[in-house]
Each structure stands twice: as C-alpha cells, then as structure tokens.
C-alpha cells in the first residue's frame, strides 16, 4: 500500500500551512549557490501543489517570503523575486488545468512592480477555480498583520462604527489578511528548525505542528503524504478530555 493510499480522505486536514525552509543549506551542502536551492524549491512547490490537488486539500498556504526576509542581501532578494515572476508565468496554465485558485497574503505593496503585476494577473485569472486554494504568504509577517488589524479596529471604534464590547475573536479574525480562510489544521516546517518565524501566530493557535529535517528542495509528494499520515494519528482535543470527544 502506498503512503497516499493510507491517507483517510474523509479525515484530511482542511488547511495545511508550510514554512518552506532550507533551500540555501541544501544548495550549500552540495557546493552550489543559494539561488540554486531556491530554483529547486520551486520544483517542490509545483510537486506539493499537485499532491495537494490530487488529494483534494481545500487550502494550502505557503510561506514564500517573510517581512524579515527583506533584510537579506539585495542580490538574493532579486533572485527570489525573479523566480517568483517566472514561476507564476510558467505555472498559471497548470493552475487553470488543475482548478487551483491562487491567493496572496502579506504586505504586497512592497513587492517589485513586475512581481506584483504577475501575481495579481494570476490571482484574477484563477479566481474562478473551485478546487484547492493555494495561498502565498509574501512579504508576510504575523506581527505586521496583527498590528495592521489593531489600527483598523481602533479607527472604527474612534469613528463610532464599532463598540468595544463588539470586538470578539471572530471580529479580530475578520481584520486579518486571512479573512475567510479557515485556520490551518496542520503546520509543516522543513529544514530542521523548530520555530514559527512570525508566521500566522493567531491562526496557528490549535494547529498540529510537524517538523522535518528534510530541506525544502527535498520535500516532495511522499513527504507531504507522510506529514498528513502523522497528522491523522493525532488526537485533537481543543482543551477537552479524550472521553469528551
């Protein structure tokens, strides 16, 4: 029985989020430039998106570039943005064919113009699709997002548009960039580090965490299936006792 066949399709996580880490170390380990790791990382993105659609996952969020990643050397940022534009142009036909809807979260105003334009074109074109939703987190950080939400909520209170007593968890969620997207059930981080790196801090409250030493360029279909099988062995109690479930 293959790994894929072992997955219980009626108990899939609705939303899988991935911190795609380890491109640079993977390349360096074989004496190559970090950008080679990013190129191979794009191949992993394609394979994992295909695996997600073949399983019928509803949401897949990929941490592609963090707010903190703007601190990297200019040449690496340019290489990453170039790859993003190229990948979007290359992959859009397959996204259409596979009924994938693309979305993006993050401070997109900071993206270079060509990256922003190609991203928006792909989002518009795929918006009619009804299969898996792939969310790219780009120039994203959770603290940026929460700070922005607090500002907007405070403004509405000052404008007498919202009462303090009306600010519920649901209202806070509505002001995050992930509005309308269910919280991730499973968070995967590749590359061996066990940290969250400013990713979806609010939304991950009850996610199951899965860490693997595999570098992102090595993470392909089978690794996604393994992570989902691991998830399916866990008991999610949400504060209750086992007996209550």
Which parts of this chain interact with Mg ion (CB under 5 A)?
21
Q: Which one, of 19, 6, 2, lies nearest residue 186 by Cα?
A: 19
25 touches ligand IPE (CB under 6 A):
yes
Residue nearest to ligand IPE (CB): 24
* Nearby residues of 152 by Cβ (< 8 Å), 6 or more positions away: 175
Taking the least distance from each CB to Mg ion, the nearer of 21 and 91 is 21
Q: Which is nearer to ligand IPE, 25 or 220 (CB)?
A: 25
211 CB burial (10 A radius; 0-12, 13-18, 19+): middle
| Residues annotated as part of the active site | 21, 69
Site for ligand IPE in 131-150 (CB under 6 A): none
From the list 120, 91, 90, 92, the residue with the least C-alpha distance to 104 is 120
Q: How far apart are CA 22 and CA 34, in angstroms?
A: 10
Q: Which stretch binds ligand IPE (CB under 6 A): 82-90, 92-100, 193-201, 229-237?
A: 193-201
Q: Is 39 in the site for ligand IPE (CB under 6 A)?
A: no
Q: Are 22 and 217 in contact (CB under 8 A)?
A: yes
Strands (E), the chain: 15-19, 59-66, 101-105, 133-140, 186-189, 208-211
Instruction: State both tokens at 189.
Output: 């981080």
The binder of 219, among ligand IPE, Mg ion, none, by C-beta within 5 to 8 A per type, is none
b vs e for 167-192, b when ≥16 Cβ sit within 10 Å of the residue's Cβ?
eeeeeebebbbbeebebbbbbbbbbe
Answer for which of 36, 65, 219, 225 binds ligand IPE (CB under 6 A) is: 65
12, 224 contact by CB (below 8 A): no
For ligand IPE, the binding residue among 12, 16, 20, 153 (CB under 6 A) is: 20
- Closer CB to ligand IPE, 12 or 15, in the complex: 15
Give the footprint of ligand IPE on residues 102-131 (CB under 6 A).
Answer: none
Choose between 4 and 72: whose C-beta lies nearer to ligand IPE: 72
- When CB distances are held under 5 to 8 angstroms depending on the partner's kind, the choice from ligand IPE, Mg ion, none that residue 35 binds is none
Q: Tell me how far apart the alpha carbons of residues 64 and 19 are, in angstroms, rounded to a whole number.
A: 8
Closer CB to Mg ion, 21 or 145, in the complex: 21
With contacts defined by CB under 6 A, name the span among 23-31, 97-105, 119-127, 165-173 that binds ligand IPE.
23-31
Binding region for ligand IPE (CB under 6 A): 19-25, 63-66, 68-69, 80, 191, 193, 195, 197, 216
């Amino acid at each position: 029985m293959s790994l894929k066949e072992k997955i219980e399709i009626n108990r899939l996580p609705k939303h899988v989020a991935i911190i795609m880490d380890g491109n640079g170390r993977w390349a360096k380990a074989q004496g190559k430039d970090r950008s080679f790791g990013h190129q191979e990382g794009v191949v992993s993105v394609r394979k994992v998106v295909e695996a997600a659609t073949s399983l019928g996952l509803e949401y897949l969020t990929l941490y592609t570039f963090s707010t903190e990643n703007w601190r990297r050397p200019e040449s690496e940022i340019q290489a990453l943005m170039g790859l993003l534009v190229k990948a979007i142009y290359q992959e859009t036909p397959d996204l259409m064919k596979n009924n994938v809807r693309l979305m993006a979260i993050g401070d997109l105003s900071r993206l270079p113009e060509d990256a922003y334009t190609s991203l928006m074109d792909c989002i518009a074109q795929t918006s009619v699709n009804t299969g898996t939703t792939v969310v790219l987190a780009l120039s994203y950080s959770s603290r940026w997002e929460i700070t922005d939400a607090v500002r907007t909520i405070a403004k509405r209170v000052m404008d007498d548009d919202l009462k303090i007593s009306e600010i519920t968890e649901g209202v806070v969620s509505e002001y995050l960039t992930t509005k309308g997207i269910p919280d991730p059930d499973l968070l995967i981080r590749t590359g061996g580090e066990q940290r969250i790196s400013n990713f979806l801090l609010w939304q991950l409250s009850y996610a199951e965490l899965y860490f693997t030493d595999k570098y992102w360029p090595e993470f392909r279909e089978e690794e996604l299936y393994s992570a989902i099988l691991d998830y399916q062995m866990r008991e999610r109690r949400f504060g209750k006792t086992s007996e209550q479930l």
